[in-house]
Chains A and B, each alone.
Chain A
Amino acid sequence: MSGENKVTLAMGAGGKQTAELIDRVFARRFASSLLTADDAAVLDAPRGRMAMSTDGFIVSPSFFAGGNIGKLSICGTVNDLACMGARPLYLTCAFVIEEGYPLDKLEQIADSMAATAAEVGVTLVAGDTKVAGRGQVDGVFITTTGVGEILEGVAPAGDKAMPGDAIIVTGDVGRHGCTILLERDDFGIEADVTSDCAPLWGSVEAMFLETHDIHVIRDATRGGVGTVLYEIAGQSGVGVELDAASIPVDPAVGGVCRMLGLEPLYLACEGRLVVIAPQDVAPAIVDALRACPHSQGAEVIGRVVADRPGWVVLNTEVGTQTLLPQPTGELLPRIC
């Protein structure tokens, strides 16, 4: 029967069919000693200070080149924790699924979540599954919440950027936003672009093994690297100066941006960090990042300055300075 291959309202009603759905799709993939059938997970407390974060994922389309909403939902929360210097320990996930959603796609999403969580070493400890009627939700929405253990002696924060610091990005910018834009096919443009969606705890841990002298770590999600830099400039009361020629941009992303008049610095990333640290440790940080699989393209792209606090200035390819236009909000709805 075709009905058996799709999510039904009964599967979200809390009865036997819900148990079957959880068993078939989630339990076997997320299995661990911490994930039980009880009402709440019972966990060891982290040593020292902990970080906690939550994020909802509604990306459209839910499958895209380089990932899907499941992988994204793990990466998003893992990366938020990582930015605080926290080793991700536990995650919970809540699904809202549209009636009629194909079960095999749901299984692919769960596969991606399990694989990404395993790569990071984070454990899925609790979950929730709800089914909404057709049209009441678009496909599948996921919310993840995570708890991480902050490394000892580490406290990066957005208000700690200091004049003289180097600004590093962990790879080429704007790929996730460009990928989603192309997947929507509003422009009839074809280009070979893959989302940068990736979990970055490994990259963060590698940096802190090298030095604890890191002032700011931010993941550049919805508003892209440009928005993050304006936020940091505001929080720290400093200016930011970028060298346009050193900002890594995939050639296909650059081509799409030129066609559509978009600024790659304002396209979303889902696997890129902005790292701000003193100039003298920057080379070691870049080397450590480049040795990790998801940050091989790390580059120093500029520096923190005392001039023009709150502004991001670009040194252009013709040797002049211009402002990076201020962020104007999301370019695309439902990017993550």
Chain B
Amino acid sequence: MSDERAQKRPSAVEILATYDGPPLRIMEVCGTHTHEIFRLGIRKLLPPQVELISGPGCPVCVTPVGFIDEAIWLAAHGATITTFGDLVRVPGTSGSLATARAEGGRIQVVYSPLDAVTYAREHVDEQVVFLSVGFETTVPAACLAVDQALAEGIANFSLLTANKTMPNAYAALKDSADVFLYPGHVHAITGTQLCEDLADQGVSGVLAGFTAKELVTALAVAVRKGGEGRPFFVNAYPRVVRPEGSPAAVALIDKLMEPCDTEWRGLGVIPQSGLKLREEYASVDARRVFDMPHIEGRANPACRCGEVLQGKCKPSDCPLFGRGCTPQHPVGACMVSGEGACSAYYQYGGEVL
């Protein structure tokens, strides 16, 4: 192609601005995508008939109320809870881990599951539980931690799992969107075969990276191909995502964990969309170590996080948004995490700009 023709090719921003095809609903599935799209103001590049929906890709946001209740129950029964910081303020049925800590519970914030193993090694008289949430991206690290604890014979370390996997979630959400913006880091682990298969089943998607250029490019692909109306899959993040993913990480997950039905906040139970520790790893499964009863959580009935997660309403449509529910005093999980749709909407000026 000559230089002149290359220059005439429209930029990704122009493709978005000049789209005149049918209405399109694009769902970004990843919480980091949600955050970056808000931070960069990318929504404003889209024509009115293209709607961007923040899907269920923030681990904190999709973790059900009952899981927080379970963690609080463990803290009340003598466990030391180790967790990523953003779970601490997520409201359970009554109270959060922050209030459990104020009442004397041992809640330690860690930055990696391996830090939780280190804590267990240094506190042999405590039963240390790591709250294992997140998708295929974070599960391998939790598995590594278990592997290391078992190899060292550390007997006071276990996981409380609420891990999720994407394949069946895509299937459950396929009617909520015309095109998925697939999460780059999940597929860096799992590869792209699933996305190809989904395209064969009529579900379209673009795999996106995280920089401004990568996101805008992926959206331009989504708009151009989506407007054509035929199912498609494009890997727009090839510098990181290989078709085969990371076989080593997948093998590690498979060694320790197996699929299970699991509850997603707002979406209900999606069959075989979760991971739990295999039977032979019962000694590191906190639910079994502590012989925990079944705990059913109840969310604040006014909170509309569930509908936000399905793209059925905007954060500002929720009666609590910005009034009872702010990043400083969150009611729903989508307001707690920096990756949550409500938090991003609130912080980056959904109401002001």
Cα–Cα, bound, A319→B352 (Å) = 18
Say whether, besides A187-B111, A316-B212, A322 and B13 are in contact (CB < 8 Å). Answer: no
The answer on a CB contact under 8 Å between A322 and B111 is no
Q: Does B353 sit at the interface, judged by CB under 8 A?
A: yes
Q: Which of A187, A261, A311, A313 contacts B338 (CB 8 A)?
A: A261
Query: Does residue A186 face the partner (Cβ distance < 8 Å to B)?
Result: yes
Interchain CB contact under 8 A, B44 and A321? yes
| Contact indicator A323/B111 (Cβ below 8 Å) | no
Q: Is B67 an interface residue (CB 8 A)?
A: no
Q: Give chain B nearest CB distance to A187 CB in angstroms.
A: 6
Chain B residues lying within 8 Å of A188, measured Cβ to Cβ, are: 111-112
In the bound complex, residues from chain B placing their C-beta under 8 Å from that of A317 are 40, 212
Q: Given that A311-B352, A328-B327 are known contacts, is A318 also in contact with B13, CB under 8 Å in the complex? A: yes
Shortest distance in angstroms between B267's beta carbon and chain A's nearest beta carbon?
25
| A290, chain B: closest CB distance, angstroms | 29
Contact among B39, B112, B328, B338 with A322 in the assembled complex (CB-CB below 8 Å): B39
Q: Are B41 and A322 in contact (CB under 8 A)?
A: yes
Indicate if the CB atoms of A325 and B347 lie closer than 8 Å.
yes
Chain B residues in 8 Å Cβ range of A313: 349, 353
Q: Is the CB of A328 within 8 A of B328?
A: yes
**Does B170 make an interface contact (CB < 8 A)?**
no
Q: Whose C-beta in chain B lies nearest to the C-beta of A312? A: B349
Contact of B349 with A323 in the complex, beta carbons under 8 Å: yes
Number of interface residues of A (CB under 8 A): 18
What is the total number of residues of chain B having a CB less than 8 Å from a CB of chain A? Answer: 21
When A261-B338, A323-B347, A328-B327 are in contact, do A318 and B40 touch as well, CB less than 8 Å?
Answer: yes
- Interface 0/1 of B26-48, CB less than 8 Å to A: 00000000010011111011000
Is A136 at the interface (CB under 8 A from chain B)? Answer: no
CB of A334 closer than 8 Å to a CB of B: no
B73 interfacial contact with A, CB 8 Å: no
Alpha-carbon gap, A188 to B338, bound state (A):
22
Count contacts between A and B, CB distance < 8 Å: 51
A321 to B348, alpha carbons, bound, how many Å? Answer: 9
Q: Which residues of B contact A134 (CB under 8 A)?
A: none
A182 → chain B closest CB, angstroms: 13
**Nearest chain A CB to B184 CB, angstrom units:** 14
CB distance from B89 to the nearest CB of A (A): 12
Cα–Cα, bound, A325→B35 (Å): 12
Q: Which residues of A (287-334) have their CB < 8 Å from a CB of B? A: 308, 311, 313, 316-323, 325-326, 328
Q: How far is the CA of A187 from the CA of B352 in the complex (A)?
A: 35
User: Per-residue 0/1 for A186-222: is the Cβ within 8 Å of any B Cβ (1 yes, 0 no)?
Assistant: 1110000000000000000000000000000000000
Is B216 positioned at the interface, with any CB of A under 8 Å from its CB? Answer: yes
CA distance A325 to B41 in the complex (A): 12
Q: Is the CB of B40 within 8 A of A320?
A: yes
B347 to chain A: which residues have CB within 8 Å? Answer: 323, 325-326
| Contact bitstring B321-353, A, C-beta under 8 A = 1, else 0 | 000000110000000001000000001110011
Binding site for A on B (CB under 8 A): 13, 35, 38-42, 44-45, 111-112, 212, 216, 327-328, 338, 347-349, 352-353
If A188-B111, A316-B40, A318-B42 are given as contacts, then 8 extra A-B residue pairs at C-beta distance below 8 Å, sorted by A number, are A187-B111, A261-B338, A313-B353, A316-B41, A321-B41, A322-B349, A325-B348, A326-B347
5 A-B pairs whose Cβ atoms sit less than 8 Å apart in the complex: A261-B338, A311-B349, A318-B45, A321-B44, A328-B328
CB-CB nearest 5 A-B residue pairs: A320-B41, A323-B349, A325-B347, A322-B41, A320-B44
